[in-house]
Structure 1
Amino acid sequence: MLAKLLQATSDQPKGANTKRFISKYAIYFVFIAMCIVMSILSPVFLTVANLLNVMTQMASIGLLALGVTIIIITRGIDLSSGSVLAVAAVVSASTAQSLDWGMRMYPNLPELPIIVPILVALAVGALCGLINGALIAYTGIPPFIATLGMMIIARGAALLYSDGRPVSSLIESYQWIGQGTIAGIPVPVVIFLVMAFITYILLNYTRFGKYAYAIGGNETAAYVSGINVTKYKILVYVYAGLLAGIAALILTARINSGQPGLGVMYELDAIASATVGGVSHAGGIGTIQGTIVGVMIMGVLQNGLDLLNVSAYWQQVVKGLVIVVAVIFDMKRQKKSK
């Protein structure tokens, strides 16, 4: 048996193991290389304050990217997460008013405990996710169309609810979610890391995750094998909506205002982060750790370009190129695996 194993190993092309290793961990090498280059170009980049700032800025997009990762694994897409964030933000902020200001805007509404706006944000996000999932699972509408519709509806709902104005003067306990620290680490970063860990467990060690991979790999085979495809498709979008609600809490608390214009283009940044992190749009392939690295790559790219005083217009061009290159590499990888 050992002789056969050694013979099989010797029959493999030279460098095959090295190529597989490089292919598997290429995204990590890219991230390290970017950090080295940015630290050379800007001495400020590797300071603790700047790195924490990068992670804090990317926390909301990172949360959206976690949800998008599972959706893409099931061969779906979500274009509505930025708009869902906005409507969750304004509704949640309206229940987190400080007493003096809140009495002027909502005379019959007392100052509510912090748990209320938190639950409201989660409920709004989950409801939007439920609608997305139900439309896709029950009607067969392509995810692109269903979530595009939700993107427009949710943005309109945010504008209607807030009358197009920011909802400000939030209670201090709410502001702490976006501005506080735990052991010197910003709360948004802590929340993102906790939710990334929970999502990793869900995706790798629960029926929810196993079924998500199965649906993305071959939906027909998953159905034939007894998986309730409709149920788990809906759950995937509900979970993504919950994450959008948490992202709304963080972003609203950071700027001390729930604004209907929040989250514009965030869904594209989230999709880009997941794509760069190795999540395949062909379905059935992707990891949470890869998405986290993808989020950090996009964050480092944006922060580095800011430090180098690169125009915001050129930053959009660079982001677009990164997405295209990432998809091209994914397509080539899929062809090689067939």
Structure 2
Amino acid sequence: MTDRVALAERLRRHFPWITLTTLTILVGFTDVNFLRPDNLLNLAADIVPLLIMAIGMTLVIYIGSIDLSSQSIANMATVLATIALPSAGVGAGVLVLAVGLAFGAVSGVVTTRLKVPSFISTLAVGGIALSVGQFASGQQALHMDAGQRLHAFGWMVGRTAGIPHELVVALLLVVVAWFIQGRMTAGRTFKAIGAGEPVAVSSGIRVERYKILAFALSGMFAAAAGLVFSVKLSGGSPTLAEGFLLPAIVAVLVGGTPLTGGVGGVINTVIGTMIVAVIRASMLYLNIPAMGQQIFFGLVLIVAIATTIDRSKMRIVK
């Protein structure tokens, strides 16, 4: 019996890789062009904003919380980046990252100091971010000047040796998040909080500070996702990243980081995002409309939560 449990646990750790490989092969059989290197590169480049948003969200889910403000912060970032570009140039990027960090920190403070559940605090902060984006944009789409965009963020677009530059940006951000999670005290503390917050508190860890940091980093990564989105599409809108929240959460969970936290992490989310990308691509090949995609991701989210959550940490569900 013990051997069976150990085998099941090993298989569960490798389940994201198995799922990704299986889905890729199935879609490849449906359309052989799907497996062409240039198609896979384009597919990867298209999901860069989603990956960046999901990476930031991973740090919050890793501690056993949730961040529902990411999509709204990303939308707001596209607007602020577009507005600030003419006067600030590349500084517009620094500005939106700082704003995202601040909004995330507010979510953390409300959650830890006011004892408001994270899904409520981040939903409220997301509503504020949405309103800021709507007010700043006049509730309309904004466009970047092509020359100013290339001068400030030309390094973020285009290709070198066939590799899209946004993929390089995403890789650097993944490395930063992985380093924080795996090589810094903050990352080890995030894991301790997710594995058992009461134990972490009794060990003398300043849990509140690290939880605020996790939310702040999530906000900053969401803003980075918005910045990349804005530069790719040469503009901003308070609804530009609409529809990204659910796939981002799905990417984190199917990658192997459960809502109860403590296991999984950044690399798992990279795999989870690839799974989401393949699923979305297969839906496009099958001509499934956007509404159908959202329904499907909603069902996947329910299944992912039900199969990955640690019920020993949630004896009562409210």
Question: TM-score, normalised to structure 2's length?
Answer: 0.92
Q: CA deviation at 1:82?
A: 0.6
Which of 292, 311, 318 is residue 314 of structure 1 equivalent to?
292
Residues 301, 284 of structure 1: CA spacing in aligned structure 2 closer, same or farther, 3 A cutoff?
same
Correspondence 1:209 to 2:187: yes
Deviation at 1:113, TM superposition (A): 3.4
Matches within 5 A, 1:235-314: 235-314=213-292
How far apart are the structure 2 equivalents of 1:313 and 1:177? 35
Does residue 230 (structure 1) correspond to residue 219 (structure 2)? The answer is: no
Contact 2:200 2:207 (8 Å CA) reproduced: yes
Q: Does 1:88 align with 2:77?
A: yes
Partner of 1:104: none
Deviation at 1:42, TM superposition (A): 1.1
Q: Is the 8 A contact 1:177 1:249 kept in 2?
A: no
Greater gyration radius: 1
Report deviation, 1:83.
0.5
Could you tell me which amino acid in structure 2 is paired with residue 267 of structure 1?
L
**Structure 1: runs of 5+ lacking an equivalent:** 1-10, 98-108
Shift of 1:328: 1.9
C-alpha change, 1:79 and 1:18, in structure 2 (3 Å) is same
* Stretch deviating more after TM superposition (71-80 or 50-59): 50-59
TM-aligned CA deviation for residue 202 of structure 1: 1.1
Q: What CA distance in whole angstroms lies between the structure 2 residues aligned with 1:74 and 1:147? A: 15
Distance in 2 (alpha carbons) for counterparts of 1:126 and 1:92: 15
Once the two structures are overlaid, the 10-residue window that deviates more, 214-223 or 295-304, is 214-223
Contact 2:156/2:169 (8 A) holds in 1: no
Pairwise CA RMSD of aligned residues? 1.9
The 1:288/1:166 distance shift into structure 2, 3 A limit, reads same
Residues 79, 268 of structure 1: 8 Å contact kept: no
Q: Does 1:72 align with 2:50?
A: no
Report SS of the residue matched to 2:307: helix
Shift of 1:175: 5.1
| Residue number among 130, 141, 144 corresponding to 2:119 in the alignment | 144
Which string of whole-angstrom CA distances, capped at 9 and with x for unpartnered residues, describes residues 34-61 of structure 1? 0000000012211222211221121111
Percent identity, aligned pairs only, is 27
Would you say the 8 A contact 2:68–2:119 is kept in 1? yes
Equivalent position to 1:45, from 34, 40, 45:
34
Decide whether aligned partners of structure 1 residues 271 and 177 sit closer, same or farther in structure 2, where only a CA change above 3 A counts.
farther
Distance of 1:46 and 1:147 partners within structure 2? 39
Residue 105 (structure 2) pairs with residue 130 (structure 1): yes
Q: For residues 52-63 of structure 1, what are the structure 2 equivalents within 5 Å?
A: 52-63=41-52
SS of 1:45's equivalent in the other structure is helix
Partner of 2:94: 119
Note if contact 2:34-2:40 (Cα within 8 Å) is conserved in structure 1. yes
Question: Closer, same or farther in 2 for the Cα pair 1:323/1:216, shift >3 Å?
Answer: same
Q: What letter is aligned with 1:187?
A: H
Normalising by structure 1, report the TM-score: 0.86
Q: Say yes or no: does 1:154 pair with 2:132.
A: no
| Alignment match, 2:159 | 181
User: Which amino acid letter does the alignment assign opposite residue 123 of structure 2?
Assistant: L
Could you tell me which amino acid in structure 1 is paired with residue 129 of structure 2? A
Q: 1:229 to 1:184 in 2, by over 3 A?
A: same
- Letter matched to residue 75 of structure 2: A
| TM superposition shift of 1:178 | 4.9
